[in-house]
Amino acid sequence: MASGLFIDPLTLLRVVPLVTSTASIVIAGDSDLFLSALLSLKQHRGKVNEIAPRYFEVFFWKGLRYILLTYGLSATCGLVNAYSRSHAAASWNWYAAGSVLALAHFAFVPKIMWKVKDAIDAKEEPNGGAANALRGWLAVHHVRTALVDVPSWACFLVATVKALKSI
């Protein structure tokens, strides 16, 4: 930091994908925690079916902005790092892989959008089916988290470590 800046912009650029992909993993974990907790109230299944459609609707639309922000920043900054190649050659391919995996999160949209619709459109009554719809959403969510979200984070971790070693 010979420039005297408090934060070196190049270092910040190298770290942003790791920070934003970490935030994405936290959001994924929180989604699992909050929805699984709601579904674990087996003795209150009827009440869960009554409240889950509106709960999930608010949960989904509020969370969507954070998903778009974190995955968008991860992919964008990862690609900028990959294409800048002004750092160690050993890290640019990790940034590229992390970016591709971050974008692959959205490849699950066709699979998950019907689960979202089913959960939101479920009847708000004891036998409305919202709990089953949420289970379906969580099943796809778990697969997506394991196949693309965690590997994206791991790629950005390796990329960041390798890039910062070369600065």
pLDDT tens digits, one per residue of 125-154: 998 899 999 999 999 999 999 999 999 999
- Let me know: does 52 contact 134? Beta carbons within 8 Å: yes
For residue 48, the one-letter residue type is V
**The pLDDT of residue 81:** 93
Per-residue pLDDT, averaged over 19-29, amounts to 98
State yes or no: pLDDT of 2 exceeds 60. no
State yes or no: pLDDT of 85 exceeds 90. no
State yes or no: pLDDT of 4 exceeds 70. no
Q: Count Cβ atoms below 10 Å from residue 1 Cβ, excluding itself.
A: 10
Least trusted range by pLDDT, from 6-10, 19-23, 64-68: 6-10
Q: What mean pLDDT value characterizes the chain?
A: 92
- Let me know: does 144 contact 112? Beta carbons within 8 Å: yes
For residues 39 and 70, give the distance between their C-alpha atoms in angstroms, rounded to a whole number.
27
Sign of the CA dihedral 136, 142, 144, 147? negative
pLDDT tens digits, one per residue of 36-83: 999 998 788 889 999 999 999 999 999 999 999 999 999 999 999 998
Nearest Cα neighbor of 34 from 152, 141, 146 is: 141
State yes or no: pLDDT of 15 exceeds 90. yes
Give the helix ranges, DSSP H, for the chain: 9-39, 45-84, 89-104, 109-121, 130-144, 150-166
Structure tokens that stand for 114 in this block:
């019907």
Per DSSP, 124 falls in state S
pLDDT band at 87 (very low <50, low <70, confident <90, very high): low
pLDDT tens digits, one per residue of 104-126: 999 999 999 999 999 999 999 99
pLDDT band at 86 (very low <50, low <70, confident <90, very high): low
